[in-house]
Amino acid sequence: MNATTRRSVRWLAPAAAVVVALLLWQLVTAGGLFRADQFPTMFDTVQALGKAVATPAYWMSIGSTLQAWFLGMVIASALAITIGSALAFNDFAFRSAASVIEIFKAIPAIAILPLVILVLGSTLPMKVFLITFGVFWPLVIQVIYGVRSMDPIVLDTAKALGVGGLRRFVTITIPSASPYIATGLRIASASALILAVVSELVGGAAGIGRNILQAQNGGSSAYPVMYAYILTAGLLGIVLTGAFFLLERNVMHWHESQRNIRSNAEGALR
């Protein structure tokens, strides 16, 4: 098998798996294993999705969800990088804060949703706060370990050359910790989307989650619409995760981790 054939198989295999899954969905539902009021057929769901895509309400719901996702990610990332770096450079602060971080990381973000709704209501700030809370704790841990994994020789060299303060943070600390930060951001993006949809489902804020809830309350005839929005949330998650993979590969092309990935991929195609 030559390189071109292997490359084609690499790209076609996931697409074939999706087609097989959709066909199984249609066979299982159309064959009577599930009733229509339990699980709609694939054709009905795709048809409902096609009709929804043509409506402004569909794109407005996606925009509302993405807005909360984006703001939550930006705020959580900025806080995690700032606070995590400060804790990583101070052993006493790191030891003091470690137990607090672990405690808050163990609290499911959804557990504080009733309190957040009570304070902020079914609003955009409610979604942003929930996303920020849920994403910050695991992300700050990634930043701390990334900064603490820096080669001490690099820091000593920077000090000897007189590179300090903000310049050292931007040119040395962040690039050295970037593999950890990139991994944390990629994982956080999926978690942030889940929290956005859940906050809309439970809290009633505008977005994909609220449209799912409204379709569920509309009765069995609206179930294809409900599953259409569920598919939309899944596709959105795939797009966001793929975007972070591409961003990581292009921005960090200089890093050893990306060179190893490219070498392994090239070796697999030979």
Count of other CB atoms within 10 angstroms of residue 210: 22
Query: What are the angstrom distances between the C-alpha of 169 and each of 10, 83, 86, 165?
Result: 40, 13, 10, 6
Are 62 and 231 within 8 A, CB to CB? no
Count of other CB atoms within 10 angstroms of residue 106: 8
Are 67 and 124 within 8 A, CB to CB? yes
Question: pLDDT-derived band of residue 269, with 50, 70 and 90 as boundaries?
Answer: very low
Q: Which domains does the chain have, with CATH numbers?
A: 60-268 (1.10.3720.10)
Predicted confidence (pLDDT) per residue in 84-117, tens digit: 988 988 888 888 888 889 889 888 888 999 999 9
Predicted confidence (pLDDT) per residue in 142-156, tens digit: 999 888 887 777 777
Are 184 and 139 within 8 A, CB to CB? yes
Are 127 and 207 within 8 A, CB to CB? yes
Return d(Cα 113, Cα 129) in angstroms, integer: 10
The predicted pLDDT at position 8 comes to 65
Are 61 and 208 within 8 A, CB to CB? yes
At 161, phi and psi to the nearest 5? -85, 0
Helices and strands of the chain, counted as H and E runs: 12, 0
State CA 45 to chain mean position distance: 25
pTM of the model: 0.83
